């Protein structure tokens, strides 16, 4: 008798990075990276975390998704002019390609990612 297992995971954990690891994880990355600037107290950020964890699975061959807690690691958020949360930045080849502020449905975020990567 054989046992067939299927991976039905639709969510992936979103790794948290810090100000200290930002350079290595984002700027030096060989693949596009979506950085979600958020905070624990931010309700829209929690909604976006679910959206991003689904997209991390769906788009795993196209980009990497990470999060930065702006309360714990404020340096890059300040340098990039993050004013509200959640704010998403899409980086490729060490450069910020685009940013999107506020929560949005999965389809909107996915289209934004694919359109931005397609232009890079």
Q: How far apart are CA 40 and CA 42, in angstroms?
A: 6
Does residue 7 register a pLDDT over 70?
A: no
Phi/psi region, residue 102 (left: phi>0; alpha: psi -120 to 50; beta: rest), is left
Residues with a known catalytic role: 42, 45
pLDDT of residue 119: 80
Render 44-89 in DSSP notation, one character per residue. HHHHHHHHHHHHHHHTTTT-EEEEEETTT--HHHHHTT--SSSEEE
Give the domains, in start order, of the chain with CATH numbers.
22-119 (3.40.30.10)
Under the banding of pLDDT at 50, 70 and 90, the label for residue 9 is: low
CA torsion angle for 72, 14, 49, 22 (degrees, to 10)?
Answer: 40
Q: Work out the percent of the chain whose per-residue pLDDT is above 90.
A: 88
**What is the pLDDT of the chain when averaged over all its residues?**
92
Bridge partners of 65, per DSSP, are 34
**Per-residue pLDDT tens digits for 25-39:** 999 999 999 999 999
What is the model's pTM? 0.90
């Amino acid at each position: 008798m054989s046992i067939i297992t299927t991976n039905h995971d639709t969510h992936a954990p979103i790794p948290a990075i810090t100000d200290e690891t930002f350079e290595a994880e984002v700027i030096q990355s060989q693949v596009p990276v979506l950085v979600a600037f958020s905070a624990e107290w931010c309700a829209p950020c929690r909604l976006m975390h679910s959206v991003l964890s689904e997209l991390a699975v769906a788009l795993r061959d196209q980009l990497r998704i990470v999060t930065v807690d702006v309360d714990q690691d404020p340096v890059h958020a300040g340098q990039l002019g993050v004013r509200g949360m959640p704010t998403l930045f899409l980086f490729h080849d060490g450069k910020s390609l685009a940013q999107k502020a506020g929560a949005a449905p999965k389809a909107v975020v996915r289209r934004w990612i694919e359109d931005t990567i397609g232009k890079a």
